Structure 1
Amino acid sequence: MWEQSFRDKSFERRLFRARAIVAAIIVLIALGGLTWRMVYLQVELHEKYKDLSDNNRVQIRPVGPNRGLIYDRNGVLLAENIPYYSLTIVPERTRDLEETLQFLNDLVGVSERDREQFEKRLSYRRRPFEPVVLRHKLSEEEIAAVAVNRYYLPGVDVEAQLVRHYPQGKAFAHVLGYVGRINQMDQEKLEQDEENKRRYSATQYIGKTGIERRYEHLLHGNVGYEKVETNARGRLLRTLERQNPEPGTDLTLHLDSRLQLLAAELMEGRRGAVVAIEVETGGILAHFSNPSFDPNAFVTGISYADYGLLNNDPDKPLIDRAGYGTYPPASTLKPFIGLAALQAGATSWNYRIKDPGWYQLENDERFYRDWKREGHGTVDLEAAVVESCDTYFYDIAVRTGIDRLTPFLGKFGFGRDMSLDVITATSGLLPDKEWKRAYRRSAWYPGDTVNLGIGQGFMLVTPLQMATATAVLANRGKWQVPHLLLAENDEPIAIEHGPIDDIQLNDERNWDRMFTAMEHVITGRHGTARSLLKNLRFPIAGKTGTAQVVSIPQGEKYDSEALKERQRDHAWFMGFGPVENPQIAVAVLVENGESSGRTAAPIAQALINEYLGGAEG
C-alpha cells in the first residue's frame, strides 16, 4: 500500500517514451547508414565491384598455337603433333600442396622422377596461376580417377595438349633435332623480348636442336586468347570469347626419307656419317649420323639416368658426326689437289713421275711413304687419281706450294661453314702459314705441304663439307649453297647464292678430265673402288680415302690386327652420278672402317642407285 503511493507513473511513462524515441532515432540512423552504404556500394561503386567480380569469375587465358609440321620432299611426315594428357597443378589454388601430392600419389601414382621434375619446374620463374605439369601420359583410367576426385583436388586438372612426335625416330634425330620443355634459361631469353614473351605465353615447348631450333620462328606460330568463366575453385565453366591462335608454318625439307632410312640401315653397327646433296639445287637429300638416339625421349623430359647413358656412351650418339665431326680428308682430297696444281701450272695431264714407293724432299732424310710399298711405277695425273698414288700428290703439292693450295681449296668450301641451315655445322680446318703461326706458334714447313697433298696433317673436314665440295666439283665449279629447307606451307623458297664465287678454271676441260679420272676409280683396272662394278647401275665418279687415326712410325707397315679397333683407319668415299649429268653428290665416312672400297664406297653407291633409280622410275 505504501509503495504504490510513492511511484510516479506519469514520470515513468515520460521516461519510457524518451528512451523509445532515442532508440528509434538510433535505429533510424543505423538504417539510414546502412541504406546509404548500400546505395553507395550498389550505385557509386558498381563499376568497381563489377570489375572485381568479373576478375574473379572471368579470366583472359592465352591459347598456344599448334606447332608446324615437318615433311620430307615426297610428303612423308617427319615431325607431327599427337594428343597427350598431362596432370597439372596450380600451386596457388591448392590448400596444401604436400597433402595434394600425397593424395595424387595414392590415386594415380607419382614417381620420384615425376616429383623431382615437378619441383624443378616449380622453381623456374613462371607466371602466377600457371599450371605446372606433375605427370605426363595419363591413361584413360587415371584420367577418370582424377575426374571422380576433383572435389578433393582444388588446383588439380588434366590438360589435353598436342605434343611433338617424331615417327621416324633415330633416323632423323640429328638433322631434325627435337623440342623440349622451356627451362629457366629459355624463359630468361624469351623475357628479354616483349614480342617473344607474348608469343610464348601459352607455350611449354621450344626447339632445342636441329631444324626445330633453326626454324623455331616459323614452326611456333602466334598465340591466341580466350575469355573464360570460372568458379570459386578456378575450374572452367564456359568460354565467353575466343581469338584463335595462328598455327606454325609447315615446312618441307629437301631430305628424302628413302635415302635417309637407307643410310640408317647401311650404317647399322658402324660409327660415321652420310651426307647426300642434290647437285642442281644444293638441297641436302640425306644427313645421317650414327650412332643416333630417339628424339622422342627428350620431348617431355628425359631422365637423368637415361641422359647419363647417352652422354657417357663412348660412341657419342648425341654428336652429329655429319655436320660437327671433323676428320682428315685423306685421299678424297686428291681430285681437288690435282685441280689446284693444274690451275697453278704446277702439273699437267701429261706430267709423269716414276714412283719408287716413297717421296723425299731436298735436303731432308725423311721418306714419305706411298700406301703401295713397291710404288706405282710411272704415273700421270689420271693414273695417280685412279690408283691413289701418294707419291705423285706429294710431288705436285710441293710444286704448287701452300700459298696457292689453300686459297684454291677454300673455293670449294673447305675451312668454312657454307651451309644455310645446318645448325650443327662447323668450319673444319684448312691450314695455312698464318694459322700455324697463330695456333701452333711455328713456321710452315715443306713437310706440312707434303702431308696436305694426301689430305693428312693438320687439315680437317666434316662429311657435310666433303659432300658440299663434291657437289661443287660435280657442278663444274658452280656454287649452290647446301640447305635443308625446300618450302614453307607448300610455297617454294628462293635460296640466295651465298658469299662465295663460282670457280673458274684456266681450262674448263679440266672438269671433264677429272670426272673421267674419278670414273676410272670405279671402272679402271687398278681403280681403288673397283669393287663397286658388280652393283654399277649408273656411271659414277668417285674417290676413296683412308685417314690415319694414329701415326705409324717410319719404316713400319700398317698392321690392322695389331691395333685396337678405335685406332684403325677411317674409311672415306666421295662421289657423284651420273657422270655426264651429275644429279647427286655423296660423302660417306665410316670411323675405323679401314678399307673404303668395302665399307664406305658401297654405302655411297647404294644411295646413288636409290636416288637415280627413283628418279628414273
Structure 2
Amino acid sequence: MSHEEEKAYPGFSGRLQFISVVLALCMLILILRLWTLQIVKWDEYRSQSNSNRLRPQRLESPRGMIYGRNGLDERVILADNRAARDLMFVLADCNVEGVVPELVCQRLEQLLHIDGKALLSEIEASEKANQPHKQILIKRDIPVGVSARVEEYAYALPGVFTVIRPVRRYVYGKTGGQVVGYLGEINQKQLDARKDRYVMGDLIGQSGVERKFEARLHGKDGEMLVTQYARGVPQLRTDPYGNVYVEMDSLGHNLFLEDEIVPAEPGGEIQITLDIGLQAKAEELLKGEAGAIVVLNADTGEVLTLASSPGYDPSVFVSPQGGRERQELLTGKPNRMINRAFQEVYPPGSTYKILLAAAALEEGVIDRDTAFTCYGGFRLSNVSHEWNCWKRGGHGKVSVVDALAFSCDVFFYNVGRELEVDRIKAWSLKFSLGERTGLDLPGEQPGLIPSPAWKRAVYKNLVPDDPSEWNWYPGETINLSIGQGSCAATPLQIAVLMSSVVNGGYRVEPNIEDGSTGEKTRVMSEETVALIREGMRKCVEKGPPAPTGTGHAAYIEGMEIIGKTGSAQVVSLEAVEEYAREEDIPKELRDHAWFMTGVLDREPRIAMCILVEHGLHGSSVAAPLAKEMIEYFYASRERPAESELAQRAADGYGGAR
C-alpha cells in the first residue's frame, strides 16, 4: 500500500497486521489440534472409531487330531476336522434403505426353507435387549451349494454372512466310535470349571478319548476384527497363519484387519494304541449281538481293541441333522452309549476259575498232583443243597490241569471251600478283579468280588429288619468259586487276568495312550503260570489222540494258543427248567458266553477276552470268534493296511452328512 493510500485509509495497516496474526494463530491452533488428533491421541481415537466400525469375530480353534494304528504300526487318522459354514445374522449390519429384518427373514425362509418367524422373534429379542451386534445363528453347517445361493442374493440379504468353523470329523465313523468318544455342548457345571477357555455353546469331550484328553485336544480360540456394516456373504479366506476361517465377500465387504488377528491355536494331537483294522474285525464279528471283544498286548498292556456292540457313530453328535438319532441313542434300548468292554459288568462264570487256580497254587492249597473226584455234584457238610457240575455224569478224578481243560465245576467247588472267601477276595484284587484296572479312559467299572463285609453293609440297608440275611454263608463261597452269585467283572478285567498268564505272571495296567507306561506287578510264580498254561493249552487242543477241550473251536494248526471257556448264568436254573431244549430258552434268559485266550509263540503276544451276551456257550459261540480274531491279527501284520478300511476312510467317513 502506497503512502497516499495509507493517508486515505488510516488504521488499515494495523488491522491487516491484526488479522494476519489472528489467522496465523488459528492456523497454529488447527495444526496443534491436528497433531493432537493424529499423533498424540491417534491410538485412543482409532480405538474409539474401531469400536464403532468394527466388531470382534471369534476364531474357533480346531481340536487336536486323534491317531490310531492299523496293522504294521501304521499311523492312521481317527479324528480330524473339516470346515463347516454357519449362516449368521447381525441386526446392526441390516442397514440398507428399504430392507427391514422382516423382509430378510421372508427371503431366507423362501431360499433356505427355514422358520422365518422364529428367526424374526430372535432378532426382535436382540433389538429389545439393545444388542444390535449380537450374532444370531440362522442355520448351522450349510452345504457349499447353499452358501453359493446365499451369496448370489447377498444384495437382498443385508446383515447375513457366513462364518467358517472347524467341525469334528470321525474318519471311520462307527468303527471305534465308543473308544474315540463324542462331543456334546458344554453344560453349566463344566463351564464353571473352565471359564478361561470355553464359552456357553462350545463342544466338549463327553466320552472316550475325546473326554479323557480334553485338556490336550481343546485348542485356544483366536479373534479378528470385522467391519460392522458389511453386506453380503463372506468368501473362503486364509489368514496369515495358514488357517482357513473365511471372512471377505466378493465386493470387498466384511473386511478384517490383518494386523488385528489373534490366531487360533489348534489343540494338541493324541496317538492311541487302538488297531483300527482289528477293531473293525471285532465289531464285524459282533454284529447283531450284544457283547464285547478286548485285545491287549499281554506284555505292555497296550489296548489293541475295545469293541462293543451295539455301538454308535460319534458323527451324529456334531451333525445338525442328527437330532432324532441323538435322541434315540441317548434313550433307546439296548444302551449303545456304553462300552461293554469296560463300562458294563457280568458274572465271569468259568473264566474266574483261572483266578481260583492261581490263588490255590500260590497259597499251597493245591499242587500239580492234587485231585478231586467229580461225580457230577458237590455237597457241603450239614447242607442239603447239591451244587451240580455242568457235566452231569461227572469228570471222574481230576487234577488242576484237567479241571481247567474241561472246566470241571466240582474241582473248583473243592478249591473254593479250602481257600475260603477272604483269601479269594484278596487274590482277586491282586489281579484287578473287584477294582478298576487303571485304564486311561473314563467310566471304567470296578466290578464286584463279594465278601462278608460287603454283604453285611449292603443287606443292612436292603433288609434292615432281618439280621439273618446279613450273614455270609458257606454256599456263597461255593458259588463265588465258579464266578457266579454276586461276582461281577468287565471283559477288560478278564483280559487283564488272561494277560498275566500269557506274559509269565505279571499284572499289567491297560493303556490306550501310545507310549504311556502302566504298572507291571508280578502276581504269579513261573511254576504256577506253567501249570495254568498247561491246562489252558489242553482246553484248546483238538482230539484225537488227546481228548478235545472245551475251547477247541479256537484251535489253529501251528500256533500255541491257550484259552478258557465260560458260560455265566443270568437266572436261576429253576427259571429255565421248564424248557426241554436250550434252543427254546428265551434269549434274555440264556447264559452269557465267555472265552479268554492268548497266543504264546508270536510277537506281539496278545491276550483276548470275548463276551457275547446271552450267547449260551463260550465253547460254541465265543471261541470261534477268537479264532477269527487271532488269524486276522497276525495276518494283518504281514500285509499292508486293509484296502477296505482305506476306502472307507476316503469315501464313507462318518463326518460326511
Change (3 A) 1:333 1:151: same
Instruction: Give the alignment partner of residue 206 of structure 1, picking from 204, 207, 211.
Output: 204
| Separation of aligned partners in 2, 1:422 and 1:75 | 21
Decide whether the 8 Å contact of 2:368 with 2:401 is kept in 1.
yes
Q: Does 1:408 align with 2:424?
A: no
| 1:358 corresponding residue in structure 2 | 377
| 1:539 corresponding residue in structure 2 | 560
| Separation of aligned partners in 2, 1:97 and 1:332 | 68
Change (3 A) 1:42 1:69: same
| Separation of aligned partners in 2, 1:324 and 1:529 | 26
Decide whether the 8 Å contact of 1:541 with 1:576 is kept in 2.
yes
Q: Does 1:66 align with 2:87?
A: no
Decide whether the 8 Å contact of 2:85 with 2:163 is kept in 1.
yes
How does the TM-score come out when normalised to structure 2?
A: 0.78
How many Å apart are 1:307 and its aligned residue?
2.9
| Separation of aligned partners in 2, 1:55 and 1:161 | 24
| 1:10 corresponding residue in structure 2 | none
Alignment of 1:307-326 (within 5 A): 307-326=326-345
Q: Give the partner amino acid of 1:584.
A: I
Deviates more, 1:384-393 or 1:43-52: 43-52
Aligned-pair identity in percent equals 32
| 1:549 corresponding residue in structure 2 | 570
| 1:606 corresponding residue in structure 2 | 628
Deviates more, 1:230-239 or 1:573-582: 230-239
Q: Does 1:586 align with 2:608?
A: yes
Instruction: Give the alignment partner of residue 176 of structure 1, picking from 166, 173, 180.
Output: 180
Decide whether the 8 Å contact of 1:588 with 1:604 is kept in 2.
yes
Q: Does 1:569 align with 2:591?
A: yes
Partner secondary structure for residue 258 of structure 2? strand
| 2:214 corresponding residue in structure 1 | 216
| 2:11 corresponding residue in structure 1 | none
Decide whether the 8 Å contact of 1:114 with 1:134 is kept in 2.
no
Q: Give the partner amino acid of 2:212.
A: R
| 1:443 corresponding residue in structure 2 | 471
Partner secondary structure for residue 335 of structure 1? helix
Deviates more, 1:434-443 or 1:327-336: 434-443
How many Å apart are 1:342 and its aligned residue?
1.4
Name the count of aligned residue pairs: 563
Decide whether the 8 Å contact of 1:471 with 1:584 is kept in 2.
yes
Q: Give the partner amino acid of 2:498.
A: T
Instruction: Give the alignment partner of residue 236 of structure 1, picking from 236, 254, 263.
Output: 254
Partner secondary structure for residue 86 of structure 2? strand
Change (3 A) 1:337 1:52: same
Decide whether the 8 Å contact of 1:576 with 1:582 is kept in 2.
no
Alignment of 1:454-603 (within 5 A): 454-486=482-514, 493-497=515-519, 501-505=521-525, 508-523=526-541, 525-533=547-555, 535-536=556-557, 538-553=559-574, 556=577, 559-578=581-600, 583-603=605-625
Change (3 A) 1:302 1:214: farther
Instruction: Give the alignment partner of residue 430 of structure 1, picking from 449, 461, 481.
Output: 449
| 2:463 corresponding residue in structure 1 | none
Deviates more, 1:596-605 or 1:61-70: 61-70
Q: Give the partner amino acid of 1:379.
A: V
Decide whether the 8 Å contact of 1:64 with 1:223 is kept in 2.
yes
| Separation of aligned partners in 2, 1:410 and 1:181 | 38
Alignment of 1:394-405 (within 5 A): 394-405=413-424
How many Å apart are 1:428 and its aligned residue?
1.1
| Separation of aligned partners in 1, 2:368 and 2:578 | 31
Decide whether the 8 Å contact of 2:160 with 2:231 is kept in 1.
no
| Separation of aligned partners in 1, 2:143 and 2:47 | 40
Change (3 A) 1:476 1:150: same
Q: Give the partner amino acid of 1:89.
A: F
How big is the alpha-carbon RMSD for the aligned residues of Structure 1 and Structure 2?
3.4
Partner secondary structure for residue 327 of structure 1? coil
Q: What runs of 5+ residues in structure 1 fail to find an aligned partner?
A: 1-33, 487-492
Change (3 A) 1:132 1:232: closer
Summarize deviations over 1:191-219 as a string: whole Å, max 9, x none.
2xx3x24xx69x84322211011111111
Partner secondary structure for residue 328 of structure 1? coil
Change (3 A) 1:334 1:557: farther
Change (3 A) 1:255 1:573: same
Summarize deviations over 1:97-123 as a string: whole Å, max 9, x none.
66544431211122699979x99x99x
| Separation of aligned partners in 2, 1:512 and 1:547 | 26
How many Å apart are 1:159 and its aligned residue?
2.0
| Separation of aligned partners in 2, 1:69 and 1:178 | 14
Summarize deviations over 1:84-140 as a string: whole Å, max 9, x none.
222223466568766544431211122699979x99x99xx9x99563433234233
Decide whether the 8 Å contact of 2:62 with 2:167 is kept in 1.
no
| 1:27 corresponding residue in structure 2 | none
Change (3 A) 1:92 1:552: farther
Summarize deviations over 1:7-33 as a string: whole Å, max 9, x none.
xxxxxxxxxxxxxxxxxxxxxxxxxxx
How many Å apart are 1:144 and its aligned residue?
2.2
| Separation of aligned partners in 2, 1:494 and 1:324 | 22
Alignment of 1:78-477 (within 5 A): 78-90=78-90, 100-110=104-114, 129=133, 131-182=135-186, 186-191=190-195, 194=196, 196-197=197-198, 204-231=202-229, 236-241=254-259, 242-301=261-320, 303-441=322-460, 442-477=470-505
Partner secondary structure for residue 553 of structure 1? helix
Decide whether the 8 Å contact of 2:502 with 2:600 is kept in 1.
no
| Separation of aligned partners in 1, 2:333 and 2:500 | 35
| Separation of aligned partners in 2, 1:403 and 1:446 | 12
| Separation of aligned partners in 2, 1:138 and 1:302 | 11
Deviates more, 1:552-561 or 1:434-443: 552-561
Decide whether the 8 Å contact of 2:510 with 2:518 is kept in 1.
no
| Separation of aligned partners in 1, 2:163 and 2:575 | 68
Deviates more, 1:41-50 or 1:535-544: 41-50
How many Å apart are 1:276 and its aligned residue?
0.6
Q: Give the partner amino acid of 1:222.
A: K
Q: Does 1:53 align with 2:49?
A: yes
Change (3 A) 1:582 1:353: farther
| Separation of aligned partners in 2, 1:372 and 1:589 | 22
Partner secondary structure for residue 604 of structure 1? helix
Deviates more, 1:283-292 or 1:592-601: 592-601
How many Å apart are 1:590 and its aligned residue?
0.3
| Separation of aligned partners in 1, 2:188 and 2:91 | 18
Decide whether the 8 Å contact of 1:114 with 1:135 is kept in 2.
no
Change (3 A) 1:141 1:62: closer
| Separation of aligned partners in 2, 1:269 and 1:445 | 40
| Separation of aligned partners in 1, 2:624 and 2:65 | 34
How does the TM-score come out when normalised to structure 1?
A: 0.83
| Separation of aligned partners in 1, 2:442 and 2:117 | 31
Partner secondary structure for residue 169 of structure 1? coil
How many Å apart are 1:43 and its aligned residue?
7.3
Q: Give the partner amino acid of 1:544.
A: T
How many Å apart are 1:462 and its aligned residue?
0.8
How many Å apart are 1:71 and its aligned residue?
1.6
Change (3 A) 1:615 1:303: closer
Deviates more, 1:239-248 or 1:354-363: 239-248
How many Å apart are 1:573 and its aligned residue?
0.6
Summarize deviations over 1:409-453 as a string: whole Å, max 9, x none.
111111111233221311111211211111123121111110011
Change (3 A) 1:144 1:462: same
Partner secondary structure for residue 76 of structure 1? strand
